Structure 1
Amino acid sequence: MPWWAHPAVPPKRLNMWDTEEKLKRPEEDLFVFREVAESPWITYRPARRVRLRNGRPSPGQTAPSLVAIEQIAEETCFLADLHGSPDELKKLAGVLAPVLEGRRWLRVGRGGAPVEVMAFAWPGNPPPAKARGSALLILTSDLLMRDERLRWKTELDEHALRELTGCADLTVAKTERGSLRAVQEWVTIHGFNGTSRLWRVPAAAIRRGSVFEISGTAVSTLAERAARQEWLGERTHEGFGRFRIEVSLPGVTPAAAAPAVLDITPDVAEEAIARDTRDWLNKHEALAKSGRNGNPRPSLSQWMDLVADLERGDPNALKSRLLPATSGAKTWKHPDARAILEKLAMVAPSPQGQAPYARMFVRWLRAQLRAQPEEPQ
């Protein structure tokens, strides 16, 4: 069985704290999301394009360099949250009214790429997560935090989390070996200043997707802060420091997964037409045999004339053959040929809808005629 015919197997996502299997490291551009709270979590990888151009990173450079720019692919939908006071958002909505109504595009990014607003809404404050006891602190975006010497932190311990959240009653769970029950990595953040047209100094951040199992009164406090969209760390207005408080790890597949469902791809229209017309020829094989037995059949050229008339949209293409008035058209009185004409009249009311069936039938008929052995003279 070829690979594309195997049943679709749902992905298996496990919690590394609850399994002894050796798991693969998740890709950097892989996300999990769900449309509504009741829908299952699914994985998603946004399409991105890499464009190459010539540029000079520094003004003193004489020869241009080859620069790669990563862009969001066209036709990609993404969610943007705008935060501010109600008065400021009302003013912004008034200025962006043509954009929100779909009458204009919004130019964003370095190159001013056009962005179309597909839908917008005024979201209310979501209710805080009902987390009691222990919960998971999950970073949904990169987190920027400095230490006492203004250096970027690349790892968070229990003391750093208390300082970051401002909650003294915060405890990070420990493993059997005494280490923190947490998964964290750090990543380098690059940026570009549109005003000065210069690159920003790189910063080190705790990577999005890092997870910490915490307990204490800080759980309810952080859940309320997440509901009010009060994020952690520095540069929160740029999207850094966002987090979630969850009781269980999102995206983990249940232990008793549902059996795989055979994902059968439906036939395209041309394949369905080919299957039906092949059945027609199998039931009327006499059309592919010689007509020297006293009951002549239409020739291949007559079938091709029928296809040409149907493609041209002639409304009398079938009627003139079902009721032949000339001696040359008497071959259409063959019972098998008449049956094919009646089938063509039933598949579609218009000649344009009948033409694909006639064309495919003639292809099968021509192939069958070529496969017939030549009769002796």
Structure 2
Amino acid sequence: MARGGSRPGEIAKSLIYGIGDVDVGLAGPEARRETLDALEQQELETAHAAGIEVTRKPRQKIKRIQRALEMAHERRKGKSARSSSRVDQAARWRQVGIQERIPLIHLSLPLRVVILLLLATVDFYVFAQAYAYLTDVEDFSPEWWVGGGVGTIVFLTGLVLAHEIKALVLGRAQRKLLQEIDDGSIKIEDDCRERLVCTESSPIMLGLALFGFTVLFVFGLLVRLVGSDENWSISLLLSLVPVVVVVVEAFIHDPMDRAEPRRSLLEWLLERKLAKESENLAVLQEKIDRAISRIKHKYVVERSILATEQADMGLGLQAAAESRVGPVDHSRDPDPTLGASSNGHIHLPEQGSVGGNGGL
């Protein structure tokens, strides 16, 4: 059978002249068209199979990323469901102006993060130096890092203490506001009053946070004042850093700043990765589609050339005529004495047979 060529018309001409294939060269017009269709189908199937193989791994990778992203979305939805009541309460309290009744300094999130990181770094250094003085070791030794870890714990304890203090202040402000609403001093919607719930601060949690913070703070203060060779005023100033952490966090922390869980870093990374892999897959698919389009266009050209070449050579005219008028039947010849023998020769009548008297 003829094989596909690279030049336009090469396949069509090979089908007509039978280059390398006598059977194809002797075939009729319909057989040549069927052969051309079969060659096109074979090339298309090969191209489709190659495309599936090329895109198999990218598609599998995209499916894995999508599954991981769906799991991350489900975790965020679970967090949203658990915190939905707190978010709703915070929104209701903001509507009645509770933020105006508590000490609060509004700061943007990036600025707040910078301030807390600075305080955490200073706290780490203060306790690292204090533990180094206590154990008489050099800086950046294992003991020094242990002291820094203790300082980090003091910092976190100070944050917890500041939040508990702010919750206590918020609860008192909420109860006072509700009392004013009930007395009629402040007017709000009736259904809104029934849905407001006061924040309750736990004395046990407040006591635990205060006890832990006080013990660690006093320990760091005594070590700085007793074991340090620095000026006592400088040591006292550095030792008060944990207290500064509590005061600052108590003022900048907004207990009513409750929102739906934000998109996590993992989700962001997965979405970026999914977009990149999808773009790569789209590029591959576009190349495959172009290759398939080239194959189809090539065989459109080959069919046109085949039809033109066959028409120029007079191939297929008899078949076309027979398809219009049907095959010739010699049995209906008007002269019954003429006929075709089995070997294709025409028999002529013998002399004397015409007229029945042996002559004209």
Band of TM-score, shorter chain: under 0.3
Structure ranking higher in helix proportion: 2
TM-score by length of 2: 0.21
TM-score by length of 1: 0.20
